Amino acid sequence: MNRYRVKSGRRVDLAHWGPDDTSAFDGNEEDAQGRLVKLNRQLEDLQELLYAEGKRRLLVVLQAMDTGGKDGTIRHVFEGVNPLGVKVASFKVPTQEELGHDFLWRVHKQTPAKGEIAIFNRSHYEDVLVVRVHQLVPPDVWRGRYAHINDFEQMLAEEGTTILKFFLHISKEEQKKRLQARLDERDKRWKFNVGDLKERRLWSAYMEAYADALGKTSTQWAPWYIVPANHKWYRNLVVCTVIVETLKGLKMRYPEPKEDLDRVVIK
């Protein structure tokens, strides 16, 4: 999966990252579904081990344009995982209380505790994306936030949090198809937001903002992965593979019991 990892300090041009790519998997969609089931089982076991060990944390950040598949990724990648040790935080428009603090205040309290996996459905990156595109703060403010984000994530990493960040990369044409599907299928109309069309008109500005954010904040301790997301099955496969491989690399162990249990007899 290293082909999708953004190298630290490299400038990103999203035109060179194909959202239709499926080259990391030699098989068809049906084969991929079988592979995903196996990965889900591995993730279940690894999440249980993470929770039992109680020493480390995992933060998964998902960013995408509207209809990019954040909800679907969470649903399919974490299917079957014990909810006891997993939480999802969704960051909407800041409340008045949140606006009264620094931009990372509302984010920090949602980060995972020891043994937990936290999934951010949108994140602190909205403050260098939406805020930039809509000119909600001066340029010198959002530009300064790249360094704040890197420092914040480095602190989390040094405290035992493994951070994985995924940009679910879809094409503008694919977004059009997905928006149209929401209109055409009545049971999906609840997901359609007319405001998404206004954001769609700002596509180029968002691509520029994403390119800068990905390039300036992909670090050794908190890497970005640009995931080809036009094909949902491939998107799920890539994200789940990265998470499973990363958790395996932590070399976690179940804790030893505090007492000698070999002589325990249950009557």
pLDDT digits (tens, 9 = 90+) for 116-144: 999 999 999 999 999 999 999 999 999 99
- The closest of 132, 145, 165 to 63, measured between CA atoms, is 165
Strands (DSSP E) found in 86-140: 86-90, 117-121
- The CB-side HSE value for 152 (13 A sphere, CA atoms) comes to 20
**Token couple for 165:** 């960040």
Q: Are 77 and 135 in contact (CB under 8 A)?
A: no
pLDDT recorded at residue 140:
97
Residue 209 has pLDDT above 80, yes or no: yes
CB atoms within 10 A of CB 158: 9
- pLDDT confidence bin for 266, thresholds 50/70/90: confident
Domains and CATH numbers, the chain: 2-171+206-249 (3.40.50.300)
* Cβ atoms of 251 and 50 closer than 8 Å: no
* pLDDT tens-digit readout, 211-254: 999 999 999 999 999 999 999 999 999 999 999 999 999 999 99
| Per-residue model confidence (pLDDT) at position 36 | 95
Rounded distance between C-alpha atoms, residue 72 and residue 138, angstroms: 34
More confident residue, 258 or 99: 99
Q: Does the pLDDT at position 263 exceed 80?
A: no
Please report the pLDDT score of residue 267 as a whole number.
Answer: 85
Q: Label residue 27 by pLDDT band (50, 70, 90).
A: confident
pTM equals: 0.94
CA 146 – CA 45 distance, rounded (Å): 35
Q: Are strands 57-64 and 117-121 parallel, antiparallel or unpaired?
A: parallel
Is residue 71 within 8 Å of residue 233, measured between CB atoms?
no
Q: What is the largest CA-CA distance in the chain?
A: 71
